[in-house]
A and B are shown apart, each in its own frame.
Chain A
């Protein structure tokens, strides 16, 4: 199995920054292994539980989640990824972030691509808000000094007030979301990769979050975002990729992409309906 690590080149010269594309994906595929029980009803029927436990074999198979994806991201571009659930949006983001290895083709990332994939990652529920800011910050690759500098901003942005000194286990879902969002936006990478959880929280916080996202996007040299929130995507992105079952089926201006998407979804009414909101 040919596995190509993404080639990461750090650009130093200001002029190369303007000209070289940030991401060049050329026929990139991602294949993941998984285990498939041979019987489809394994461990679902009480009568077969016992025999199934000992006799049923699992076989290891591979599933191609992304197939021959090719696209380019130029500096300053904001790219949306759309597609129904399971189309491969998150996988593409993870491949761009260097988490998943790609098979075949080549993937060049010019700069530091980092993402916000999972909102609750690394949060410790026994720890207080402030402790979690440090924990999470370190996990995102910041130094203690960096976090010291940013912690006040994060606390202020989260609007948690005194609750920031209470353990996370006392937080409501919305509060921990606010904290997670504030913490996650401490980083300012060259290429920002965002997964769909972003547009959450109460309305007031949503506005703030969107503003913060815009700032982050302005600071970063490129953005790739996967979301079902079409309104958010329209405000943020200029261009979009439409994925369907691992294939790249459309690459073009955001409005056209969304139109194509709606058309395709309408054609297949049995498929999973897209959520209006992430």
Chain B
């Protein structure tokens, strides 16, 4: 797996350029082009931000940034969750051509999601400007958090892509998980008591919470629990271990399964 990962990094021209091009081609017939990527989250954040800050009685300049960063990071997470099981299945023809490594296809998919995320960050910047709220002093840690998130997306896509090629049920399971965790992860609600909020201690059992916090907390200027770093780092290490085993055992079979 490691060799393939390194080889994929070297052939970065493939996954950057083709992804970029496909995105451009996808919007060619639209009037506003990639601006559409911004439209949906902007509307979501404005509508929900104003409504729920009243419902939950939280000051807008706290709630809206919380919602925006949370929601946009969540879009990346749920993108990984939903595309991972179908990544190899949907790229069947590329796989059967023989020149594409599995890692190439994963890199290209993650790059697509990162391009979307990069567009979405404009909404985050917009919110910070609007509320004249400077990001926390350790905001740069958010980049570290995002880097960890991308690393985790990498192993998750490899693992889930291989499992999803063999067992098509994975798509349904991941979609269900994505929908459920959107609500039980503090995205549209805030754990106000400094602990787990309505979820109480159970919040800590939610892995998505930890992955979200490493990106959001530094920008919000709230502290990150040591547990959160531990979960994310352990998840990265264990995940790559799992991916390496699976890639070795089953990676070659994937073209037969798709």
The interface bits of chain A over 131-166 (1 if a CB of B lies within 8 angstroms of the residue's CB, else 0) are 100110011110110000000000000000000000
Give A93-109 interface residues, CB cut-off 8 Å to B: 94, 97-101
By a CB distance below 8 angstroms, the chain B residues around A5 are 252
B91 nearest CB neighbor, chain A only: A122
Bound-complex Cα distance A33 to B98 (A): 19
Interface status of A127 (Cβ within 8 A of chain B): yes
Q: Across the interface, do A99 and B25 meet the contact criterion of CB distance under 8 Å?
A: no
A143 proximity list for chain B (CB < 8 A): 13
**In this assembly, does A32 line the interface, its C-beta being within 8 Å of a C-beta of chain B?**
yes
B14 at interface, CB cutoff 8 A: yes
Q: How far is the CB of B152 from chain A (nearest CB, A)?
A: 27
Q: Within 8 Å of chain A (Cβ to Cβ): is B93?
A: yes
Cβ distance B233 to chain A, nearest Cβ, rounded Å: 32
- Whole-angstrom distance between the alpha carbons of A5 and B4 in the complex? 14
State whether B98 touches A94 (Cβ < 8 A): yes
Comparing A113-121, A171-179, A241-249, the segment that makes contact with chain B is A113-121
Is A124 an interface position by the 8 A CB rule?
yes
Q: Is A273 an interface residue (CB 8 A)?
A: no
Residue B95, interface by CB 8 Å: yes
* Chain A positions 20-65 with a Cβ under 8 Å from a chain B Cβ: 32-33
Task: List chain B residues, Cβ under 8 A from A114.
Answer: 98-99
Contacts of A127 in B (CB 8 A): 21, 25
Contacts of A138 in B (CB 8 A): 13-14, 17-18
Does chain B have a CB within 8 A of A8?
A: no
Answer yes or no: B96 CB below 8 A from chain A CBs.
yes
Residue of A nearest to B250 (CB): A3
What CA separation (Å) do A139 and B108 show in the bound complex? 11
Closest to A144 in B: B13
Contacts of B255 in A (CB 8 A): 94, 99-101
Chain B residues contacting A211 (CB-CB under 8 Å) are none
Whole-angstrom distance from the CB of B104 to the nearest CB of chain A?
Answer: 9
Contacting residues, chain A, for B11 (C-beta < 8 A)? 141
Q: Is residue A126 within 8 Å, beta carbon to beta carbon, of the partner chain?
A: yes
Q: Which of B14-30 contact A (CB under 8 A)?
A: 14, 17-18, 21-22, 25-26, 28-29
Residues in A whose Cβ lies below 8 Å from that of B257 = 33
Question: Mask for B78-104, Cβ within 8 A of A = 1, else 0?
Answer: 000000000000000111111110000
Binding site for B on A (CB under 8 A): 3, 5, 32-33, 94, 97-101, 114-115, 117-118, 121-122, 124, 126-127, 131, 134-135, 138-141, 143-144
Taking Cβ atoms with an 8 Å cutoff, the residues of B that contact A are 11, 13-14, 17-18, 21-22, 25-26, 28-29, 93-100, 252-253, 255-257
